[in-house]
Amino acid sequence: MEGRPREEHDLVERARRGHVAAYEELVQLHQGIAFRTAYLIAGNAADAEDATQDGFVKAYRALGRFRAGAPFRPWLLQIVANEARNRRRSAGRRAALDLRLAGAGPSGGAAPSPEAATEAAERRRELLGALERLREEERLVLACRFFLDLSEEETAAALGVRRGTVKSRASRGLARLRDELGEDARA
């Protein structure tokens, strides 16, 4: 990761001058996060794919407006996320975000006992359920912050809101989750 910003800066500069291969490298660097952000917003993979591709193309044409030396990712995410919102809006769909648990959870450190693994899976299901009952605006902020690991600035750019709004929606969402899960735990 060392040296990434410098390298990215060079790629952006070359892309601005019309260097298509440099831009392709930038796409490769950021397509994962861009696609997942679009997926969370659009709610399905097909729209997310279109939004990501069109977003990257629009971002390329708009590179002349990009401030040299600024972080590229929030700027890009803003454009891709906007494409994703447009698609969802024009389809008139509510985003019924399809979040599925993968077969196995993350395997961190020592292999957990079967009991611990079962309990962890149960907690994840609970949390997912609670998350789905949140207001969408809160769920999206939490998903950007904790699932995608976006910074507050990036989350604000992607969702088209201010940073203060990101903060307040995140803390409201977390408080609701704690309320709900706390009660579940006692029950």
Partner 1 sequence: MRDVERELRDLGAALALPEPPEGLAARVRETVAAGEPPARPSRSRRRVLVVALAALVLAALGALAVPQARTALLEWLGIRGAAVERVETQPDAPVVPDEYGLGDPVTLEAARGLAGFEVAAPGASPLGRPDEVRFDPLTAGGQVAFLWLDDGGAATALLTEFRAPLGFEFVEKLAGPGTEIALVDVDGGRGIWLEGEPHGFYYLDEAGQPRDETLRLARNTLLWERGPLTLRLEGDLTREQALAVARSL
**Whole-number Å distance between alpha carbons of 133 and 169:** 14
Q: Which of 8, 9, 127, 152 touches partner 1 (CB under 8 A)?
A: 127
142-161 binders of partner 1 (CB under 8 A) = 142-143, 146-149, 156-157, 160-161
**Whole-number Å distance between alpha carbons of 51 and 76:** 12
Query: Is 24 one of the binding residues for partner 1 (CB under 8 A)?
Result: yes
Query: Is 45 one of the binding residues for partner 1 (CB under 8 A)?
Result: yes
Query: Is 42 one of the binding residues for partner 1 (CB under 8 A)?
Result: no
**Whole-number Å distance between alpha carbons of 156 and 75:** 11
Q: Which residues contact 17 (CB under 8 A, 6 or more apart)?
A: none
Nearer to partner 1, 3 or 102 (CB): 102
Query: Is 116 one of the binding residues for partner 1 (CB under 8 A)?
Result: no
Q: Which residues contact 75 (CB under 8 A, 6 or more apart)?
A: 59, 66, 157
Query: Residue 80 Cβ, how far from partner 1 at the closest point, in Å?
Result: 10
Nearer to partner 1, 2 or 159 (CB): 159
Per-residue three-class SS string for 121-136: HHHHHHHHHHHHCCCH
Query: Residue 103 Cβ, how far from partner 1 at the closest point, in Å?
Result: 9
Q: How far is the first Cα of the chain from the last one, in angstroms, to the nearest whole number? A: 45
Nearer to partner 1, 6 or 107 (CB): 107
Whether the Cβ atoms of residue 166 and residue 158 lie closer than 8 Å to each other? no
Size of residue set near partner 1 by CB under 8 A: 71
50-109 binders of partner 1 (CB under 8 A) = 52-53, 56-58, 60-65, 67-70, 78-79, 82, 85-86, 89, 99-102, 104-106
